[in-house]
Structure 1
Amino acid sequence: MAFGFDCMDRISQFRFEPASGWESAGAVFLLAAGALFTTCKLLNYFRALLSIFVLPGQKLSKFGPTGSWVLVTGGSDGIGKEFSLQLARAGYNILLVSRTASKLDAVADEIKSKTPSAETKVFAMDFSENNDEDYEKLKQLIQDLDISILVNNVGLSHSIPTPFVLTPLDEMENIIAINCFGTLRVTQLVAPGMMQRKRGLILTMGSFGGMLPTPLLATYSGSKAFLQYWSTALGGELEPYGVTVELVQSHLVTSAMSKIRRTSVLIPNPRNFVRSVLSKIGRGSGLSAYAFTSSPYWSHGLMAWAITQIFGPMSKLVLGYNKGMHESIRVRALRKAEREKGKKAT
């Protein structure tokens, strides 16, 4: 009992001192900073939801009247073909630029059959060659055209996910020539006319592979990251001239490049993807962290918001997921190649 009374005596002698003014101010500051941070994140989230699901994009007529021209690179298949068809229906004439003349002619014929009022022109060139003569011919072709919209869609990825040290030199060169030089050189031909007319739209197809460092697609990932910074810088340069620049970030879309045929919640077909792009021009769509950038397809926009605002595009968690996914794809691709090799041998 003596021990118990001794403890009570010690407790009764203890005095709680009030916090000093500096400590109170520090606590208030931390609470205010935390509240401000949380509020900003919530506002950013609701802004993304509004952009993705509610608010419309800018009207195409802002960038040029019907009857003016759209130049689409990589326009013979997939996303590029769909841009051509939908923009022709919107009243624009279409200039298709890609490698294979027969495919370009087929798309031009399809446009004429579905939209007889639209004019079409085709120009076949291989962007991987980075040929000065090709670009000079293209320059001559467009010099008298009122090009209101440029769709930089031409692109190349790796044949299969491949470690960088095993990537063939010609594959690296082709990816850089097509994704980077092709986009830059065509834009440099078209942009001066837009600046002079004080209107225009430059849409460049990006990729989550450029937003997220992607092991086993290192060269492709780097080329798309280059387009992100280039587009943002270009947007700042051309905005005072009334020209809108937008990099379109996307996850997978069913196409020849992705080698995916089946759609899902995260993988739209080209028609739905392009429709979302054209209906959301000027909307950040979940990517407020990047100026002059959008991710307009609804599930891609939500993914982009989560990656940039919660996980972080450079985090080891995201990097590890990306690496594991592409290692799995590589294993399946190599097994398929072995099976096809065996069939040929028999």
Structure 2
Amino acid sequence: MAALDHVPQPAVLGLAAIGAGYALFKFGSFVRLLLSLFVLPGASLSKFGDKGSWAVITGASDGIGKEYALQLARKGFNVVLVSRTESKLRSLAAEIEATHKVQTRIHAMDFAANNDADFTALSQLIADLDVAILINNVGFSHSIPVPFLQTPADEMRDIININCLGTLKATRAVAPKLVARRRGLVLTMASFGGVMPTPLLATYSGSKAFLQHWSTALGAELAPAGVTVQLVQSYLVTSAMSKIRRASATIPTPKAFVKAALSKIGRSGGAQGVAYTSTPFWSHGIMHWAIGSFVGIMNGVTLKFNRDMHESIRKRALRKAEREGKKVA
């Protein structure tokens, strides 16, 4: 306190007011977080299209993409299923038609090939459909955590082709139909890897950061046309990509995650201050809010945590490959 004896009283009061204002702002932000995650509903899917209209889902054959297809079909949307493996698409289409009594169309394509003819064929497939929703779910990551300088060239190429170019071209194929009807939803799956740089997943992390800026800009462009754009941020989910099978409070199943995502359209969750973005699953939202609120502290802590975690994962993967006689990068 002695140090403050020489500070003019108005300055002390001013600093106290700034501190109190900051604390009040953070408290209000936390209350907003809780309301967004646990109380306030998102926009109804009927805002974007009536029952019987169509949803296009990329990466639809497994995991989160499959769950988006199932839950949208359950809500009465017909679905266009887009993914690489035709047999999986046919099986899922048959399941959806039998269970939910809606129509399906399938389009088998390899996003890694970056073949313009595939996207032209997708445009032709949906030409006569009333498309209301596009789910950009297709994604690809490194086979195991790997330093950038050791990342195989084909793996880098596939990540960029699938995560970036595939998402852009699918949106170019579908979004004009949403603009023409003056309503619709473009929902794109992102990742915490794009929120915080992730050592040993550098190319994947960069591709997801790209989607954040692209999607936010697209949201501003399409809003005057009545089209809602939302980037959905997530931490880990049980899936083939994450290689995690057991769900927990911080790692939900695809079913739980997609339920949260579809029920919180238009709500920021933990992504406060980032336009056209949501972190809808409750534990992911709290983590994202903490990262954004204490960025000066969390940047260094999270960077080190990410590096240490993925170095450990890489060591285990290399030991397993050695036991099995496999060669990895």
**TM-score, length-scaled by structure 2:** 0.95
Pairing partner for 1:47 from 32, 36, 39: 32
Q: CA deviation at 1:114?
A: 1.1
Alignment of 1:296-315 (within 5 A): 296-312=280-296, 315=299
Distance 1:178 1:137 in 2: 17
Q: 1:165-211 CA deviation, whole Å, 9 max, x = no partner?
A: 00000000000000000000111111111112110011100000110
Q: Which moved more, 1:288-297 or 1:75-84?
A: 288-297
Q: Secondary structure at the match of 2:244?
A: coil
> Which residue does 2:85 correspond to in 1?
100
Pairing partner for 1:268 from 222, 227, 252: 252
- State the AA in 1 paired with 2:281: Y
- The yes-or-no answer on 1:61 pairing with 2:61 is no
- The yes-or-no answer on 1:25 pairing with 2:10 is yes
Is residue 71–residue 97 contact of structure 1 (8 Å, CA) maintained in 2? yes
Q: CA deviation at 1:94?
A: 0.3
Distance 1:264 1:132 in 2: 40
Q: CA deviation at 1:24?
A: 2.8
- State the AA in 2 paired with 1:72: I
Distance 2:203 2:230 in 1: 22
- State the AA in 2 paired with 1:34: G
- The yes-or-no answer on 1:83 pairing with 2:68 is yes
Distance 2:140 2:6 in 1: 63
Q: CA deviation at 1:314?
A: 6.9
Q: Secondary structure at the match of 1:105?
A: helix
Is residue 212–residue 314 contact of structure 1 (8 Å, CA) maintained in 2? no
Q: CA deviation at 1:247?
A: 0.6
**Which entry has the higher C-alpha Rg, 1 or 2?**
1
> Which residue does 2:163 correspond to in 1?
179
Q: 1:121-159 CA deviation, whole Å, 9 max, x = no partner?
A: 000010001101111111111122111010000000000
- The yes-or-no answer on 1:233 pairing with 2:223 is no
Distance 1:214 1:161 in 2: 10
Q: Secondary structure at the match of 2:107?
A: strand
Is residue 311–residue 318 contact of structure 1 (8 Å, CA) maintained in 2? no
**TM-score, length-scaled by structure 1:** 0.91
Alignment of 1:1-346 (within 5 A): 23-116=8-101, 118-312=102-296, 315-341=299-325
Q: Secondary structure at the match of 1:202?
A: strand
Instruction: Please list every run of 5 or more consecutive structure 2 residues that lacks an aligned counterpart in the other structure.
Output: none
Is residue 152–residue 205 contact of structure 1 (8 Å, CA) maintained in 2? yes
Q: Secondary structure at the match of 1:250?
A: coil
Q: Secondary structure at the match of 1:97?
A: strand
Instruction: Please list every run of 5 or more consecutive structure 1 residues that lacks an aligned counterpart in the other structure.
Output: 1-17
Q: Secondary structure at the match of 1:179?
A: helix
Distance 1:214 1:19 in 2: 46
Is residue 196–residue 299 contact of structure 2 (8 Å, CA) maintained in 1? no
Q: Secondary structure at the match of 2:293?
A: helix
Is residue 120–residue 173 contact of structure 2 (8 Å, CA) maintained in 1? no
Q: CA deviation at 1:313?
A: 8.6
Q: CA deviation at 1:308?
A: 1.1
Q: Secondary structure at the match of 1:315?
A: helix
- State the AA in 2 paired with 1:172: M
Distance 2:313 2:6 in 1: 59
Is residue 68–residue 258 contact of structure 2 (8 Å, CA) maintained in 1? yes
| Identical aligned residues as a percent | 60
Question: What is the root-mean-square deviation in Å for CA atoms of aligned residues?
Answer: 1.4
Distance 2:293 2:95 in 1: 42
